[in-house]
Amino acid sequence: MHRILASSLLLATAVSAFVPAQQHRTQRSLHTPLQAVNLAGLATIPNPFQQLPWNVVRNEKSKELKYKIERSKLHRELGIAEDATYEEIIEATEILKANAEGNKKRQIQIDVFKDKILQARLNERLAGLTSDLVTDDAKAQSGFEEDGYVSA
């Protein structure tokens, strides 16, 4: 047994004498433990399956549901119905801000809720998603802006 160890040690010493120093260092580095690879800097590859028609539809429905849930949370915070008019939103905002007198953080939070609701409604109107929320007064005002007169 000692004879095998001695001969392998002698062989390793003989080989290392003939291997240049640079190659010897690289051979050592192969025996070091693996290090963690930083994946943050690598480019991401788009998933080709996301472009399939059924996945596109599913993703759109998922986004729509997400926005609906977020909007319902905002309405709940203000204590108003989802089909509340602009005047009802402003009135609820003023009441809640009056109740939160002295609490600036809560007042700002209420204003942010109101602004998010109004922005979501504007985005839906601009996208043509909410024809049922457009009132006759809004249609008349829109006709006045486009044509210069009130449509009957």
Q: What is the 3-state secondary structure (H, E, C) of 88-119?
A: HHHHHHHHHHHHCCCCHHHHHHHHHHHHHHHH
| Contacts for 45-49: CB closer than 8 Å, 24+ residues apart | none
Confidence label for 20 from pLDDT (cuts 50, 70 and 90) = low
CA–CA gap between residue 152 and residue 1 (Å, rounded): 109
What the block records as the tokens of 15 is: 């080989």
Mean pLDDT of the chain: 75
| Confidence at residue 122, expressed as pLDDT on a 0 to 100 scale | 87
pLDDT of 111 over the 80 cut: yes
Please state the rounded mean pLDDT for residues 1-8: 52
pLDDT digits (tens, 9 = 90+) for 47-80: 888 888 898 899 888 888 888 888 889 999 999 9
pLDDT of 140 over the 80 cut: no
